[in-house]
Structure 1
Amino acid sequence: MTHPAAKAILSLYQRHAEAFARQRSRTLFEKPWLDKFTAIIGNRGSILDIGCGNGQPIAEYFIAQGFTLTGVDGASAMLARARARFPHQRWLQQDMRQLALNDTFDGLIAWDSFFHLSQQDQRGMFDIFARHSHAGSALMFTSGPADGIAMGQFEGEPLFHASLAPEAYRSQLTAAGFDVVDAVLNDPACAGHSVWLAQRTH
């Protein structure tokens, strides 16, 4: 049974989009990982940002590098900010769990978004990653460091996070046709994030 806080994620971000925009760090501490990701894609290409939020700072970084960006988020209030700031990119309001764009991308990223899903829903996402990628595509996402659920708080409300075990992520990636390029759990150089970078092999 899905945790109530997992079901409430989209409505929480919808209601607190302004607070998120105000509090989200824009120091781009993620840059070393973003650069590893774009190095796989090459100088130009298309990126699918899954759980893009308001588009800052990650989508903004890719757009500045000349990539074509499609941002997907389930919270319309977050997307409204992204559309206003970056009107020439494509922004789609969709639940990532039902994503079916009938298109593939050179890079797929789910940074601090995928880990808000239940463990069962996370497992289901790997088929979605596969359907939206092709041979050579890069995939990067953040997770927790170990199997389990971790509850945080945002604007006084419970904030759900879940993770599979590292070996389970490796298994899911392999089954979806991806090889792990790099993976660091609790990366001290990236504000403690656990990051997975993979590439589609076939």
Structure 2
Amino acid sequence: MPERIAEHYERHAHAFDHARRKRFAERAWLDRFLLGVARGAPVLDLGCGAGEPIARYLHDHGHPITGVDGSEAMIALCRTRFPRERWIAGDMRRVALDGMFGGILAWDSLFHLPADDQLDLIGRLAPHLSPRGALLFNTGPARGTAMGCQFGEELYHASADPAEYRAVLARTGLFEVAYKPEDSATGGRSVWLVRKPH
């Protein structure tokens, strides 16, 4: 299924980019996220799309960006817009991570993975988050799968149960700052903001 997700976004990269530039529903959450990211600290953006609007917002706030996306076409757009940043075309579950990040986010991307893969990935990301750094991602409100629709095609989404995410956070030394299930301000996404302690 994640492979089909990458193919979907590859086919519709320009249409997605055009639509994405018209909305920024996650801005308030990004502002909260950035409160936990040290000034000038690098940020890892998993499922970065074509860089609009999130990468631009991070860039404008002075954060070096490493962006990962499964669509080569999306990454090509990122490289055109922000040539000095680091862009990686690949599966976020398999990309080799090096160094530490003041912030890590996976907005509208983590939930395209099977639930168990999401939990594994959060565990793998935790050691790459700097002390006092922030992690922002969204999920569904309960364990299960759902098929959405985008550009006339079905689009796979999955979620673990909130208790399962909390167990991973506890195991990896991260703590929950905020969790808002089915946040109406973001179109019904369930949003998590977590931090690493000192």
TM range (shorter): over 0.9
Displacement of 1:108: 0.1
CA contact (8 A) 2:176 2:194 kept: yes
Which digits, 9 at most, give the CA deviation of each residue in 1:147-188, with x for residues without a partner? 110101222222000001111111111112210011101112
Q: What's the counterpart of residue 79 of structure 2?
A: 83
Q: What's the counterpart of residue 116 of structure 2?
A: 120
Q: What's the counterpart of residue 196 of structure 1?
A: 192
Instruction: Give the aligned residue type for 1:193.
Output: R
Q: What's the counterpart of residue 148 of structure 2?
A: 152
Q: How many residues are treated as equivalent by the alignment?
A: 198
Is 1:173–2:158 an aligned residue pair?
Answer: no
Which digits, 9 at most, give the CA deviation of each residue in 1:11-53, with x for residues without a partner? 1111111111122253322111101100011332110001101
Structure 2 CA distance for aligned equivalents of residues 137 and 114 of structure 1: 19
CA contact (8 A) 1:106 1:133 kept: yes
Give structure 1 regions of 4+ aligned residues with deviation exceeding 4 angstroms. Answer: none
Which digits, 9 at most, give the CA deviation of each residue in 1:43-67, with x for residues without a partner? 3211000110100001111101111
Which digits, 9 at most, give the CA deviation of each residue in 1:75-110, with x for residues without a partner? 110111111111121111121001222211000000
Q: What's the counterpart of residue 129 of structure 2?
A: 133
Is 1:31–2:36 an aligned residue pair?
Answer: no
Structure 1 CA distance for aligned equivalents of residues 163 and 17 of structure 2: 34
CA contact (8 A) 1:142 1:193 kept: yes
SS in structure 2 at match of 1:92: strand
Structure 2 CA distance for aligned equivalents of residues 77 and 187 of structure 1: 30
SS in structure 1 at match of 2:97: coil
> Closer, same or farther in 2 for the Cα pair 1:25/1:188, shift >3 Å?
farther
Structure 2 CA distance for aligned equivalents of residues 152 and 27 of structure 1: 18
Instruction: Give the aligned residue type for 1:31.
Output: R
SS in structure 1 at match of 2:36: helix
Instruction: Give the aligned residue type for 2:80.
Output: A
CA contact (8 A) 1:99 1:128 kept: no
TM-score between both structures, scaled by the size of structure 2:
0.94
Cα RMSD (Å): 1.4
SS in structure 1 at match of 2:163: helix
CA contact (8 A) 2:116 2:160 kept: no
Structure 1 CA distance for aligned equivalents of residues 184 and 152 of structure 2: 27
Displacement of 1:137: 1.6
Q: What's the counterpart of residue 46 of structure 1?
A: 42
Q: What's the counterpart of residue 14 of structure 2?
A: 18
CA contact (8 A) 2:123 2:168 kept: no
Return 5+ residue gaps in structure 2 as ranges.
none
Structure 2 CA distance for aligned equivalents of residues 42 and 133 of structure 1: 12
Match of 1:68 among 54, 61, 64: 64
Structure 2 CA distance for aligned equivalents of residues 102 and 48 of structure 1: 11
